[in-house]
Amino acid sequence: MSMGEGYLVAGMLLTFPLAIFYRYLIIPHTSPKHKDIFLTLTGVALYFFCFGMDAWHVVSMVTGTYLFMSVCGIRGVTCVVVFLTTMIHLLYGYITVSGVTYTVTWTLIHCQALLKVVGYFIDLYDEEKGSPESFLAYTAYVCFPFTNLVGPQFQYFRYKKFRETTEIPASWSYSLRQASLGVVYIALFYGVKHFTSTDFIISEEFLGWSFPFKLLFITFWTKWLITKYCAIWCISESAACIAGLGKQENGEWDGVVNVDVVKFETSLTIKDELTSFNIQTHQWVKRNVYKRCRRVLNNALIARVSSLTFLYLWHGVYIGFLNLFVVEALGISTEEALNRYVSQEKISRYVPVPRWILSGIQYVLKNMCVGYGLCGFALRTPARCHVFYSSVYYCFHWGMVGWLVLEAGVLRGLLGEEKRKGKSE
């Protein structure tokens, strides 16, 4: 574990006693304004504890955007200016401090704060508010100490309702369950980390393996690789729920869940896996990028490309990140196209194979495709990505593009011709 990772883990663990203190001593006995002060100070303190003086990047961004909006007012053009300037600041960080391998830097907290800042002003714009609300409420929302390091995201209106709360219903069983899942994921990640590394999939040993064995290895290796994200999101959500955030109107505590563990681990399609992972960020993008682009441009394809482009740049500027989102988009489209011809139901009609075997094959193929894309995410740079993908012949790239072209240009035409003949007969 690097020093940056150590400070991050320590900061996340500190949120648990902080959440207990907030739940039992702050919520019942203080006003909303005093809650804002407490959450702002502790959130900023966590920034500086984990990232030192680099935390000024986030602090300056948060305060600077508020001052700008206070002077210029909340309008469509000023929201665009805030979006662009905060993104440029984040991209500057990626270019100047990111390396070939992942390291914990101030860009981690900046990308989280960016979504809250931009989302805050867009929400107020939608409500036709001409100027920002209370500065303390704004900073408490953005710097909310139980989610400000790694997420999950939530809207400002959820925080406004939360800050008025004086009594929190029982949430311990759900919080402990999420914390336990986080501990299991952390143990799994660091337990396996001693035996492998990202560089292994471009090592001479790996490159000497057979093609099928390479694909089988990355299927399970990348599944392990993303356990660290499941771990930090489960732990962060647990602390937020202990503090009282996350209660839904239906009584459930999954209001800020960022990974649906059961669905993520058992899904049979790429779409289901993606919708169960980094849930709050994807909802933010759908709400603030996809839907707005589609409404303004009246074009679903452009809106989808805009959303993927934003996600790519928000994660970083490496070509491997772009590759991941392209592979995921191709994978979802290929799944939908294949399902028109080769679904489990159609196979079962002609081949006497138990459904659990078909589900097992589908599960492995799904993880293989997702893992294939994640290898680029892990390797980052064009040269390192090329070493790996050339060793497996860019098989999924060619295979998915080839199938989509064949399906769109030939199979749909043949099916359409058969339907026309059937009608004429």
CB 313 within 8 A of CB 285: no
Residue pLDDT, tens place only, 209-219: 999 999 999 99
Asked whether the beta carbons of 50 and 3 are under 8 A apart, the reply is: no
Q: Is the pTM of this model over 0.85?
A: yes
| Average model confidence (pLDDT) across the chain | 91
Closest CA to 222 of 82, 374, 19: 374
Mean pLDDT (whole number) for 62-88:
96
CA dist 269 and 338 (Å) reads: 12
Write down the pLDDT at residue 416: 55
Q: What is the mean pLDDT of residues 290-319?
A: 93
Q: Is the pLDDT of residue 423 over 70?
A: no
Residues 123 and 116: beta-carbon distance below 8 Å: no
The per-residue pLDDT for 107 is: 95
User: Is the pLDDT confidence value at 425 over 80?
Assistant: no
Q: What's the confidence (pLDDT) of residue 414?
A: 57
Q: How far from 231 is each of 185, 248, 270, CA to CA, in Å?
A: 5, 23, 21
Of the chain, the end-to-end C-alpha distance in Å amounts to 70
Output DSSP code: residue 54: G
The full 3-state SS of 196-237, as one line of letters, equals CCHHHHHCHHHHCCCHHHHHHHHHHHHHHHCHHHHHHHHHHH
pLDDT at 415 over 70: no
Residue 293 CA to residue 310 CA, distance in Å, equals 12
Q: Which of 54-68, 141-155, 193-207 bottoms out in mean pLDDT, i.e. has the lowest?
A: 193-207
Q: Which of 37, 47, 41, 39 is nearest to 11 (CA)?
A: 47
Residue 412 pLDDT exceeds 90: no
Q: What is the pLDDT of residues 1-18, one digit of tens each?
A: 778 889 999 999 999 999
What pLDDT band is residue 128 in, cutting at 50, 70 and 90? confident
Q: Which two tokens stand for residue 198?
A: 């990202």
Whether 328 shows a pLDDT value over 80: the answer reads yes
The pLDDT value recorded for residue 35 is 96
Q: Which residues pair with 259 in a beta bridge?
A: 277
What CA–CA distance (Å, rounded) separates 273 from 370? 9
Report the pLDDT value the prediction gives residue 395, as an integer from 0 to 100: 95
pLDDT in tens, 333-370: 999 888 877 777 777 777 778 888 989 999 999 999 99
> Percentage of the chain surpassing pLDDT 90?
77
Judged by average pLDDT, the poorest of 105-119, 167-181, 349-363, 392-406 is: 349-363
DSSP 377: H
- Statement: residue 262 has pLDDT above 90: yes
Of the candidates 99, 104, 100, 110, the one whose C-alpha atom is nearest the C-alpha of residue 7 is: 104
Q: What count of other Cβ atoms lies within 10 Å of the Cβ of residue 179?
A: 19
Instruction: Report the alpha-carbon distance of residue 69 to residue 32 in Å, rounded.
Output: 23
User: What per-residue confidence (pLDDT) applies to 413?
Assistant: 60
